A and B are shown apart, each in its own frame.
Chain A
Amino acid sequence: MSDVKSKIREVLAARGGFPGGIEALGDQSDLYAAGLSSFASVQIMLALEEAFDLEFPDSLLNRKTFQSVDAIAGAVQGILDGAPAAE
Chain B
Amino acid sequence: MNRLLQVEGLVKTFGTTQAVKGIGFNIKEGRCTALLGPNGAGKTTTIRMLTGLLKPTEGKIEFQGLRPGEDQRSLLGYLPQSPAFHNWMSGMEYAVYAGKLCGLSAGEAKSRAKELLGRVGLADAANRKIGGYSGGMKQRLGLAQALIHRPRLLVMDEPVSALDPIGRREVLGILKELKEETTVLFSTHVLHDAEELCDDVVIIQSGQVALQGSLSQIQSDHRRPVIELKLEDKESSMEWARSFVERHQTDDAWRMIIEDAHLEDRTLRLTVLDMEKARQALTEELAKQRVGFVRLEAGYSSLEDLFMKVVGA
Partners in one complex: no
Residues of B within 8 A of A (CB): none
Residues of A within 8 A of B (CB): none
